[in-house]
């Protein structure tokens, strides 16, 4: 077969593909041929599941950035210095005057990933601000319990109101049903990772994959 004949056959095949994609005229066909002549991007060796993991991971990073920017805007309007201080006030509201020593094993410490010394420094700062106070433990005179002051309760209510627009913006115009579904998935992911960091925090990512996936 001559080169000219081979080129004609290729041209006919391109025309057929062009028409199957809804092409109409020769002007469009010229653009189609230019596109076909470009080097094809090789197929990525990762499967669909891995590609979805990558895309979701990237989106999580973007959402984390958006969230941090919104939180920064709110924190500039409050006397609190960090989001962790707000979360600590919330933790104290949800617990009944926890012992100071209990913070080293608390859900707050695990959720915030803060070191024990950093938490105690934060407690000192919030005490100086008048938002929390230490009281004697009636069950153990050697221990101290931490509780919100009236000023701390007021600051917590003010902070909640300030953060309300952040939660609205983060989840955009999603329907209630979509939010319920998202909440279910987030609960699953939170439980999955909480177990890992409680049991195997020192393992490498590769070791964790082999054990849990």
Q: Is residue 2 part of a domain?
A: no
Mean pLDDT of 94-112: 73
Q: Is residue 41 part of a domain?
A: no
Write out the residue range of the structural domain in which residue 146 sits. 49-200
* pLDDT in the model for residue 45: 63
User: Mean pLDDT highest for which of 65-69, 101-105, 107-111?
Assistant: 65-69
User: How far is it, in rounded angstroms, from Cα 192 to Cα 200?
Assistant: 12
- Would the pLDDT of 42 be above 60? no
Q: What is the pTM of this model?
A: 0.66
pLDDT tens readout for residues 52-91:
999 999 999 999 999 999 999 999 999 999 999 998 999 8
- Would the pLDDT of 40 be above 70? no
User: How far is it, in rounded angstroms, from Cα 105 to Cα 88?
Assistant: 14
* pLDDT in the model for residue 4: 65
Angle at alpha carbon of residue 46, lines to 41 and 49, rounded to 5° = 125
User: How far is it, in rounded angstroms, from Cα 189 to Cα 193?
Assistant: 6
Pairing outcome for strands 132-137 and 140-148:
antiparallel
User: How far is it, in rounded angstroms, from Cα 152 to Cα 88?
Assistant: 11
Closest Cα to residue 7, out of 27, 25, 15?
A: 15
Q: Is residue 140 part of a domain?
A: yes
- End-to-end CA distance of the chain: give it in Å, rounded: 55
Q: Is residue 27 part of a domain?
A: no
pLDDT tens readout for residues 187-207:
999 889 988 988 888 999 999
Average pLDDT score over the chain: 84
CATH code for the domain in which residue 94 is found: 1.10.10.10
pLDDT tens readout for residues 144-192:
889 999 999 999 999 999 999 999 999 999 999 999 999 999 999 988 9
Q: Is residue 40 part of a domain?
A: no
Only one residue has tokens 């707050």, namely 108
Q: Is residue 126 part of a domain?
A: yes
Q: Is residue 33 part of a domain?
A: no
Q: Is residue 3 part of a domain?
A: no
Pick the residue with more confidence: 5 or 49? 49
User: How far is it, in rounded angstroms, from Cα 191 to Cα 210?
Assistant: 18
Number of separate domains in the chain: 1
């Amino acid at each position: 077969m001559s080169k000219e004949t081979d080129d004609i056959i290729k041209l006919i095949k391109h025309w057929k593909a062009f028409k199957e994609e809804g092409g109409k005229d020769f002007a469009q066909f010229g653009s189609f041929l230019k596109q076909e002549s470009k080097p094809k991007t090789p197929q990525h060796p990762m499967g669909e599941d891995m590609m979805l993991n990558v895309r979701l991971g990237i989106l999580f990073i973007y959402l984390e950035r958006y969230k941090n920017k919104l939180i920064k805007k709110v924190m500039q309007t409050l006397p609190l210095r960090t989001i962790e201080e707000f979360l600590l006030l919330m933790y104290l509201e949800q617990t009944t005057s926890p012992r100071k020593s209990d913070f080293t094993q608390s859900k707050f410490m695990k959720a915030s990933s803060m070191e024990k010394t950093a938490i105690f420094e934060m407690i000192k700062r919030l005490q100086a601000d008048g938002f929390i106070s230490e009281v004697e433990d009636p069950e153990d005179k050697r221990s101290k319990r931490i509780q919100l002051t009236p000023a701390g309760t007021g600051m917590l209510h003010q902070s909640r109101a300030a953060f309300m627009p952040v939660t609205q913006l983060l989840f955009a115009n999603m329907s209630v049903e979509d939010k319920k579904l998202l909440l279910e998935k987030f609960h699953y992911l939170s439980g999955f990772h909480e177990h890992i960091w409680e049991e195997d925090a020192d393992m490498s990512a590769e070791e964790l994959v082999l054990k849990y996936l």
